[in-house]
Amino acid sequence: MRDARVLLNAKALTHNLHRVREYAPHSHVLAMVKADAYGHGLAFALSALQDADALGVAFFQEARDIRALGNTQPIVVIEGAFSLEEWIESSKIGTQCAIHQERQLEWALQHIIPNATIWLKVNTGMNRLGLTPEQTITAAEQLRAAGYQLILTTHFANADEPDHPINQQQIDTFLTLKAQLEPIQVSMCNSAAIMQWPELHLDWVRPGIMLYGSSPFADHTAQQLNLQPVMSLKTRLIAMHQIAAGVTVGYGARYTTTRPTHLGVVAMGYGDGYPRVVDHAQVSINGQLIPIIGRISMDMLTVDLTDLSTSPNLDDEVVMWGGEISVDQIAAAAGTIGYELFTRLSMRPVRYITQ
């Protein structure tokens, strides 16, 4: 049987949540579990995140999925309701909604949910979602008059680049607005911001990627940040060949051997979610890193086994990421970020939960 698999380590997830608590000991933690817990599987992630103060999803169906699992933790829907019906439903399944645009404000005033908490989102420079600061002040007055509890929130565009000037602009805009709306609960920080700006932790932090053990920074590894990879992607060696120098390998004949080569075929491809575009990536076999050569195909890829110090055998385990190779290294080789590799995994690799 093909043995491509995703191993999910609950202890690592708990450890990373603990790291969030170490960074932000005085803040509530909104653990982001949108996109099927960043591709890790919602049911698995929820069982390890029971100590989080709330769970963050992008839209309503994701909140319904959490409730369908019997979970009763508070849920925050960061894109808020998409319709009046969803807004009304939020009172039934007990979610807290963001309000980031005027029509959501209208729904909240039209159908008042007594004492509900609203995450009032201000656009401070990301220019994606959020009311302007002026709109936010008016909205806050109206929502307070209607009896709502408010949490003022914004999202950084460049928290992973600490020196980017837009960060300070966003911070200034947000803190000015906070002062105008006092007393009010507030939330600014995603993972990158949590790890570098303790003074901005405020009432709520919103970690995502760090929970899953991937680094948001290009210049700091997850290991340096003492984050543990939650996911490992593994498979096995399914064929080996001795081929001559000057021979091409795989689709497009893109790789030509420069020496007699011991070629290995690995049961993993872009149909599993391993990116086809990786350039100069490695896998780990028997604890040793070896290069991928040739194009990634849908179900397989090829590696150069020649320099392995222990002779490989068919069915040897091949680590694609997790453990010796971080997802961030593979993401960099694919010109993307760990977030995308996690969420693009297909359902082909079989999921196993480890302790």
The answer to whether residue 92 is catalytic is no
CB-based closest residue to ligand PLP:
208
Least CB distance from residue 269 to ligand PLP, whole Å? 27
Q: Which one among 39, 125, 216, 273 touches ligand PLP, defined by CB under 6 A?
A: 216
Sign of CA dihedral 5, 11, 13, 16: negative
CA 5 – CA 332 distance, rounded (Å)? 22
Greatest C-alpha distance within the chain: 79
Least CB distance from residue 32 to ligand PLP, whole Å? 4
Examine residue 209 and tell whether it contacts ligand PLP (CB under 6 A).
Answer: yes
The residue written with tokens 């928290």 in the block is 159
CA 180 – CA 152 distance, rounded (Å)? 11
Token pair for residue 325? 């190779």
Examine residue 213 and tell whether it contacts ligand PLP (CB under 6 A).
Answer: no
State which residue, 209 or 278, has the beta carbon closest to ligand PLP.
Answer: 209
Residue of 34, 121, 178, 234 marked catalytic: 34
State which residue, 167 or 235, has the beta carbon closest to ligand PLP.
Answer: 167
State which residue, 207 or 213, has the beta carbon closest to ligand PLP.
Answer: 207
- C-alpha 193: how far from chain center: 15
Examine residue 207 and tell whether it contacts ligand PLP (CB under 6 A).
Answer: yes
Least CB distance from residue 77 to ligand PLP, whole Å? 11
The residue written with tokens 């593979």 in the block is 330
Q: Which one among 78, 108, 265, 345 touches ligand PLP, defined by CB under 6 A?
A: 78
State which residue, 216 or 312, has the beta carbon closest to ligand PLP.
Answer: 216
**Is 188 marked as a binding-site residue?**
no
CA 42 – CA 344 distance, rounded (Å)? 15
Sign of CA dihedral 343, 346, 347, 348: negative
Examine residue 191 and tell whether it contacts ligand PLP (CB under 6 A).
Answer: yes
Token pair for residue 158? 């460049």
Examine residue 19 and tell whether it contacts ligand PLP (CB under 6 A).
Answer: no
The answer to whether residue 251 is catalytic is yes
The residue written with tokens 């290009």 in the block is 218
Q: Which stretch binds ligand PLP (CB under 6 A): 12-20, 83-91, 190-198, 260-268?
A: 190-198
State which residue, 100 or 262, has the beta carbon closest to ligand PLP.
Answer: 100
CA 180 – CA 174 distance, rounded (Å)? 10
Q: Which one among 190, 257, 261, 282 touches ligand PLP, defined by CB under 6 A?
A: 190
For residue 120, the SS3 value is strand
The number of residues that bind ligand PLP (CB under 6 A) is: 11
Examine residue 167 and tell whether it contacts ligand PLP (CB under 6 A).
Answer: no
CA distances, 165 to each of 123, 156, 158, 188, 190 (Å): 16, 12, 9, 17, 18
CA 205 – CA 27 distance, rounded (Å)? 6
Interaction residues for ligand PLP, span 21-60 (CB under 6 A): 32
Cβ contact 238:186 at 8 Å: no
CA 150 – CA 96 distance, rounded (Å)? 10
Least CB distance from residue 18 to ligand PLP, whole Å? 16
Q: Which one among 5, 28, 40, 155 touches ligand PLP, defined by CB under 6 A?
A: 155
**Is 298 marked as a binding-site residue?**
yes
CA 7 – CA 233 distance, rounded (Å)? 6
Examine residue 99 and tell whether it contacts ligand PLP (CB under 6 A).
Answer: no
Token pair for residue 348? 């082909």
Cβ contact 216:19 at 8 Å: no
What amino acid positions are annotated as catalytic residues? Answer: 34, 251
Give residues in contact with ligand PLP (CB under 6 A): 32, 78, 155, 190-192, 206-209, 216
Binding residues: 128, 298
Binding residues for substrate: 128, 298
